[in-house]
Structure 1
Amino acid sequence: MSGAYPLRLTFTARPLVFGGRAIAERLGKSDLPDWSIGETWECSDVQGSAAEVANGPLAGRPLRALVADRPEELMGEGWSGEQFPLLTKFIDARGALPVHLHADDETARRLEGERNGKTEAWHILDAAPGATALCGVKAGVTEDELRAALEAQDFDRVLRRLPVRPGETFYVPGGTPHSFGPDTLVYEIEQTSDIQQHVMHWNMEDGSTIGDDQFAANLDMFMREVKPGPSPDPVPGLKIAAGDGVERLFLCAGPYFALERWRAGTAEPLRRRFATAQILSNVGAPVTVRAGEHRERLGRAETLLLPAALGDVEIAGPADVLFGYLPDLRRDVVAPLVQAGYAPRLIETLGENLDGGTR
């Protein structure tokens, strides 16, 4: 991967039953089919839905091949692995998602035969007034009470229902039961995985009915994988100035990923230095991305993968973009927030494993 440059990737559009037209009509993403879309997978190395490079000398190369051929140039010094570790999506929850969970790492290896589970985060791009999400088990609910309520589809009896507001972010550890929608538009970042267990009587792909035997089997596995402890709450993020009219907002962070939202006006361009691969997704007007000698126009709801070897990026404003990445938590998250004056207790609200170095 000599001669690193911003990589434009192929994406996958998924026609899930809860979807609609918001990714095209409200975010402005082009090149989408006319049917209702639940998700677009913007950067993916999930088997069967893996991205390929769509521009430049590496066009046609699978993302996984780049991971294998030049892991440090793509991901940063000292990194090794068999697949790209992050998955990002736009999600249109025109309808409600099924109540479901994703196993954590240990459970995924033990019960699913997978190398890792799936912790995820949702950054709320838009939501109707009064929108809510289910996220986590209520305190004091027993295993028997949880199972009985899930069998009865009485989710509010046992799961926490939380308000959803544009600009907030939910960090959702593996094993946490959850759902959001209707009328909610989300950018999601997560571990590279497509495992899940849900407890609905319908399939989210097409709404077809799930039989009683399959529902019972799904519920059994759900109960084996659920972690009742995590109680995620939405957070507004932590903001620091990054230039004249340039705002850097830390949305969430943990051992698997971090997500930031940067906004810039016209006084000064957005300038970001980095030591690990950056997934750059545009949630505002079209912008021009400069990295070294390279220029790329990034349209509405489009994504670029910036290899670590590039080292820095500049985007002229007005700009409103997201950066997702695999962090060194001390260097990339804790240190800049401590320097900006944030207390440890506030930094720790962004996710998990953020106490090291804050005290």
Structure 2
Amino acid sequence: MFYPLKFDHKYIEKIWGGRKLENYREELPQGKIGESWDISAQDSEMSIAVNGKLAGKSLKELTEMYPQQILGKAIEAEEFPLLLKIIDARSQLSIQVHPDDEYAKKYPGESGKTEAWYVIDADADSYLIIGTEDCTESEFKKAVQNDQINQYVHKVKVKKGDIFFIKAGLLHAIGAGIMLAEVQQSSDTTYRVYDYGRDRELHLSKALDVIDFQLQSDKRKGLQVCGEDYDYSYYCLNDKFAVDIIKIKNKFEAEGEEDRFYILTAVAGQGKISWDSEELELKETESVLIPAYCESFKIKGDLKLMKSYVPNLEKIRKDILAVVE
């Protein structure tokens, strides 16, 4: 009964949004589209299945009706734990930070947020802000208040295919001219530190509570395992989620993993995913949810997939050690 699930796209206009998604999708609405929420259990932007017998059901309904079959035997969660977005930044996003789970519990309606980025497209000389440069909290606060924050933020030039891990507590911002796939905890909690005079609410007090001034992050290097039909690379591994990359050379055949669901996002190229007598196009920027009890399927095409999932940390570590030993 369970098969690869495709969902509708929830488009959100943002002051910093752009039109790059027009290069990948035909149904883009008018306006500055900054985000497409593609797999979401957030009430504000709830994903609705669009294919097969389960079409018309929301992701929330599906996980309530079939918790083990969708989420997996090893996932103990009251709701779907991840959120998958495509972000198009025509101009600079605010400089911001997210809280961890412990801090967010102090405030009703807030939740912790750790995330990872895969850069799908980037203009020449575009950059991300990731972490702070050498400064104290008081120096940083004064710089924010005096519009001199640039001297204390770490800028990293990026290109297509770069991957970054953004842990809760890490100061960050997406720069102008970048489109990326973002996987994160299912949370919409953001503390803005600096917004380039755009007159939106700032959250400096909370941000200073949670910024880790020692925390840094660089482009992930990954560990690649080469195969005949596809190459498999491990990039991010933490207790919230893992991110792997699958580069298909001939085909990728798999099925549900029973213990846990996973999400496949086409971050480069395009192809087709098929099972039984069913078939779906999988275009660049599009995602499918693979339920834990999903039947076997096959993907063919010239494409690169980002696999996102809640991992069994010990199993993944053993798998990685088996590769490097």
Same fold by TM (over 0.5)? yes
How far off its partner does 1:269 sit? 1.1
How far off its partner does 1:100 sit? 0.8
Runs of 4+ deviating beyond 6 Å: none
How far apart, CA to CA, are the structure 2 residues paired with 1:165 and 1:201?
Answer: 24
How far off its partner does 1:78 sit? 3.1
Alignment partner for residue 79 of structure 1, among 56, 75, 78? 75
Q: Give the conservation status (yes or no) of the 8 Å contact 2:181–2:267.
A: no
Structure 2 residue 280 is the aligned partner of structure 1 residue 280: no
Pairwise CA RMSD of aligned residues?
A: 2.1
| 304 and 289 in structure 1: CA distance in 2 versus 1, 3 angstrom threshold | same
How far apart, CA to CA, are the structure 1 residues paired with 2:110 and 2:293?
Answer: 27
How far apart, CA to CA, are the structure 2 residues paired with 1:94 and 1:42?
Answer: 19
| 197 and 229 in structure 1: CA distance in 2 versus 1, 3 angstrom threshold | same
* Paired position in structure 2 for 1:349: none
Structure 2 residue 137 is the aligned partner of structure 1 residue 143: yes
Unaligned runs of 5+ in 2: none
Amino acid at match of 2:303: A
* Paired position in structure 1 for 2:219: 234
Residue identity (%): 26
| 304 and 47 in structure 1: CA distance in 2 versus 1, 3 angstrom threshold | same
Tell me the number of residue pairs that the alignment of Structure 1 and Structure 2 aligns. Answer: 323
Structure 2 residue 232 is the aligned partner of structure 1 residue 248: yes
Secondary structure of 1:10's partner? coil
How far off its partner does 1:150 sit? 1.5
How far apart, CA to CA, are the structure 2 residues paired with 1:21 and 1:136?
Answer: 28
Structure 2 residue 112 is the aligned partner of structure 1 residue 117: yes
Q: Give the conservation status (yes or no) of the 8 Å contact 2:93–2:195.
A: no
How far apart, CA to CA, are the structure 2 residues paired with 1:292 and 1:251?
Answer: 32
Amino acid at match of 2:170: T
| 313 and 241 in structure 1: CA distance in 2 versus 1, 3 angstrom threshold | farther
Amino acid at match of 1:192: S
Alignment partner for residue 33 of structure 1, among 19, 24, 29? 29
Q: Give the conservation status (yes or no) of the 8 Å contact 1:98–1:198.
A: yes
Q: Give the conservation status (yes or no) of the 8 Å contact 2:97–2:193.
A: no
| 100 and 136 in structure 1: CA distance in 2 versus 1, 3 angstrom threshold | same
How far apart, CA to CA, are the structure 1 residues paired with 2:55 and 2:237?
Answer: 31
Choose between structure 1 and 2: higher strand proportion. Answer: 2
* Paired position in structure 2 for 1:270: 252
* Paired position in structure 1 for 2:47: 51
| 61 and 288 in structure 1: CA distance in 2 versus 1, 3 angstrom threshold | same
How far apart, CA to CA, are the structure 1 residues paired with 2:41 and 2:26?
Answer: 22
Q: Give CA deviations for 1:217-249 in whole Å, capped at 9, x if unaligned.
A: x222222232223211111322111324x1112
How far apart, CA to CA, are the structure 1 residues paired with 2:308 and 2:26?
Answer: 22
Amino acid at match of 2:289: L
* Paired position in structure 1 for 2:279: 295
Alignment partner for residue 153 of structure 1, among 126, 137, 147? 147
How far apart, CA to CA, are the structure 2 residues paired with 1:232 and 1:15?
Answer: 29
How far off its partner does 1:23 sit? 1.8
* Paired position in structure 2 for 1:134: 129
How far off its partner does 1:48 sit? 0.9
Secondary structure of 1:318's partner? strand
Amino acid at match of 2:96: H
When structure 1 is superposed on structure 2, of 29-38 and 285-294 the one drifting more is: 285-294
How far apart, CA to CA, are the structure 2 residues paired with 1:292 and 1:277?
Answer: 20
How far off its partner does 1:118 sit? 0.3
Q: Give CA deviations for 1:18-57 in whole Å, capped at 9, x if unaligned.
A: 12111222xx123111322111111111121111112222
How far apart, CA to CA, are the structure 2 residues paired with 1:142 and 1:40?
Answer: 36
Q: Give the conservation status (yes or no) of the 8 Å contact 1:167–1:236.
A: no
Secondary structure of 1:314's partner? strand
Alignment partner for residue 15 of structure 1, among 9, 13, 16? 13
Q: Give the conservation status (yes or no) of the 8 Å contact 1:71–1:79.
A: no
* Paired position in structure 1 for 2:157: 163
* Paired position in structure 2 for 1:328: 312
Secondary structure of 2:86's partner? strand
Secondary structure of 1:60's partner? coil
How far apart, CA to CA, are the structure 1 residues paired with 2:113 and 2:295?
Answer: 28
* Paired position in structure 2 for 1:340: 323
Amino acid at match of 2:157: P
Alignment partner for residue 65 of structure 1, among 43, 61, 73? 61
How far apart, CA to CA, are the structure 1 residues paired with 2:99 and 2:75?
Answer: 24
Amino acid at match of 1:93: A
Alignment partner for residue 180 of structure 1, among 174, 184, 191? 174
Q: Give CA deviations for 1:267-306 in whole Å, capped at 9, x if unaligned.
A: x311235522121222334322124564322233222111
How far apart, CA to CA, are the structure 2 residues paired with 1:44 and 1:280?
Answer: 14
Secondary structure of 1:229's partner? coil
Q: Give the conservation status (yes or no) of the 8 Å contact 1:29–1:302.
A: no
Unaligned runs of 5+ in 1: 343-359
